[in-house]
Amino acid sequence: MLKQELNLKLQQKLSPQQIQLMKLVQLPTVAFEQRVKEELEENPALDEDSPNYEDEFEMSNDNDWDSQDEYREENVIDTSDINIDEYLSDDDIPNYKTYTNNYSDDDDEKSVPYAQGVSFIEYLEKQLYTNRLTEEEYEIAEFIIGNIDEDGYIRRDLKALVDDLAFSQNIYTELEVVENLLVKYIQRMDPVGVGARDLQECLLIQLENKTQNESIELAEKLITESFDAFTKKHYTKLMTKYGVNEDELRDAISEIERLNPKPGKSFSSSSKIIEQITPDFTITIENSELNLSLNGRNVPELRISSAYAEMLETYKKTENKSNEQKEAVLFVKQKLDSAKWFIDAVQQRRNTLMITMQAIMKFQKEYFLTGDETKIKPMILKDISDLIGMDISTVSRVANSKYVQTPYGTFLIKDLFSESLTNDEGEEVSTREIKRILQDVINEENKRTPLTDEKLTEILKEKGYPIARRTIAKYREQLSIPVARLRKEI
């Protein structure tokens, strides 16, 4: 049985312009400069003035946002008095042609960096051609090299390679042939250790290529015969097993520690693009006051194209307009609307960034004035969101991808955010401060008898930080510090 119902539903949706604004807010300085450049190239109704290097957007600690300059009215031509409806008729032009969505909601600003030069695989293949092999052996060896990862390892089982050679290359061979090419040719290439199937084999290959002495020989035994005990640092058992003293074992371990566990990185790192960090904000100190500036020196002043505005004025005076002229008016109107919105979005982005960073700077004023990490207050996204009256997601977009340059270094803004814990005196302290204290305690420990998590818990409790052992373990892992057993040295 059919039944009609009337439901009232309230929904809140972001417009395409709001979505694009959020994307602009999220972009760091270099990407934003590129985005402005692309918009200038795509929209002929948008023009630029020369960047004004004398007019960097700055704010001191005591400035108020209400005093900031608005748009430069002399550079923006007002087109609001032009009645486009005079030129357009819904009967003549389909509705779909009047849509002004120039961007998809899912559009992301993506760039693919590339580096010229010889790749790691090409470097290995060039070495392969210095050997005397049959044509089929060359093809098999090239296939093996193609399966070497960026660390320099063969992670796949050799039997799987044999099957792939048959199915994809139409080469039928035996496991022994593949293993012989790997061990006798590929594993002897530069960098030393390449082509290993696991860490144990990688270290052993490198040791075998060293000038032999007693330390090297003992190191080889540790890797081949007692690798598990070595990785778990059971040094007493190892000294008993091989009849050596601490100095002899220490020398052997020192040889192993000088080896490269990821030989592929020694080559690939040289061909990677090194991105230079461009700070989005700069904080300086003048007369014990903080000053904040937004990096926008490469972003030109934007304005509406006078040629396009004059074009509309010309059409306005034209009588008996043709369909072609109406379509031209529609195109001009769309481009002008897009240009005006983009100029407004750039201004809103600047305001949003400055308001957010201003609040963060005031919240962490003691730290920015002194550089003392113990002065960093516990701060979460909601704290700043409440201060500036913006959504948490907006604060997150500003903090997650932006860098700030201070007298004490350049770092991600999100690093200033941390949760809080209460010490014995009832004061809230930042978890970042606790991690620094934990790091200092571990750095000063006796490496022959490293401190366990239980002992670290007791030490921090004595310092006035009553923290559970599991919390200590979590902070230690976040600091990439191994457990006590793996920190042991002799």
CATH classification number, 419-486, choose in 3.40.50.920, 2.60.120.10, 1.10.10.60, 3.40.50.150: 1.10.10.60
For tokens 């009256």, name the residue: 389
pLDDT, residue 9, reads 65
Contacts of 127 (CB under 8 A, 6+ apart): 189, 190
DSSP assignment string, 297-331: TTSPEEEE-HHHHHHHHHHHH--S--HHHHHHHHH
pLDDT, residue 104, reads 40
If phi > 0 it is left, if psi is from -120 to 50 it is alpha, else beta; for residue 29 that is: alpha
For residues 194 and 150, the answer to whether their CB atoms sit within 8 Å is no
For tokens 């049985």, name the residue: 1
Q: Rounded to a whole number, what is the distance in angstroms from the first to the last CA of the chain?
A: 84
Nearest to 65 by CA among 382, 294, 287, 303: 294
State both tokens at 149.
Answer: 């990862």
Note down pLDDT in tens along the chain; length 490 residues: 566 777 776 655 556 666 777 788 888 888 888 888 888 888 888 887 654 433 444 544 444 444 433 433 333 334 344 443 443 343 343 433 333 333 344 444 444 444 455 788 888 888 888 888 888 888 888 998 988 888 889 988 999 888 888 888 888 888 998 899 998 998 898 889 999 999 999 999 999 888 888 889 999 999 999 898 888 888 888 898 888 898 888 899 888 888 888 888 877 544 444 457 788 999 999 888 999 998 876 677 888 877 877 777 777 666 666 777 777 777 877 888 888 888 888 888 889 999 999 999 999 998 899 888 778 888 888 889 999 998 888 888 888 888 999 988 888 888 888 776 666 665 666 777 788 888 888 888 888 888 888 888 888 888 887 888 888 888 888 888 888 877 877 7
Domain residue extents for the chain: 120-269, 277-418, 419-486
pLDDT, residue 488, reads 78
Distances (CA, A) of 121 to 128, 145, 157, 236: 11, 7, 19, 42
Sheet holding 58-60, edge to edge: 58-60, 289-294, 281-286, 403-406, 409-412
Q: Is the peptide bond before 16 cis (omega within 30 degrees of 0)?
A: no
